[in-house]
Amino acid sequence: MLRTILSSAALAALVALPIQAQERFDEINVGVDLNQVTSPEAAARYANISDDLVKAIGDALSVTPAGTADGGAKIVVDLDEVALAAPFVGTPGASTSAMAGTVAVEDQGDIGSQRKFDLTVTMDQIMPYMPENTDMTVIEPSSDAVYQALLQTFAAAVVSNLEG
C-alpha cells in the first residue's frame, strides 16, 4: 500500500514539475507584423507563428533560469519579418530559411531588471529537429517539417539564452 502511494506521489510530482517551472514565467509574447511580409505565401505560412512560438517556448521551458527573482519573468519576442519572408522572395531555397528576432526578458520580481538579446536560427541549426533521413538539399523551406524545426530550434535557443 505504501509503495503504491509513494509511486503515485512520485508520478504526480514528475507530471507537475514542468507546469510549476513554467509558472515562473508570467507571460510569453511573440510579436510579428504580417502586414510587413510582402509575400502572400510567406504570410500564409506564418499566419499562426505567434501562437506556435509561444507554445514552443513554453514547451521548451523545463527549468527556471537562474537569476530570476520570485516574481517570475515576462518573455517578449519580436520576430524579424524580413528573415521570415526571405525564402519566399528573391532566391528561394532551404539555405535562406531563418527565424530571427529580438528577445527581451523582464524579471517581474526585480523592478528594472531586463535582458535583451538578438537571436537567429538558420537551416544549419535545425537538423536535430528534422525527421530522420531528411534530404536538406531538396526540402522546401515552406514545408511543415522546416517550420516545426525552426520553431523548436528558436525556442530551444531562447531557453538556452535565459539560462546563460
Percent of the chain with pLDDT over 90: 31
The pLDDT of 26-42, averaged and rounded, is 88
How many independent structural domains does the chain possess? 1
User: What is the domain range of residue 40?
Assistant: 2-163
Instruction: Say whether pLDDT at 122 is over 60.
Output: yes
- With a CB cutoff of 8 Å and minimum separation 6, the contacts of 39 are 85, 88, 89
Instruction: Say whether pLDDT at 70 is over 60.
Output: no
pLDDT at position 38: 82
Domain CATH code at residue 139: 3.30.160
Instruction: Say whether pLDDT at 11 is over 60.
Output: no
- Strands in 98-107's sheet, in edge-to-edge order, are 25-31, 73-79, 98-107, 114-122
Q: How far apart are CA 138 and CA 128, in angstroms?
A: 17
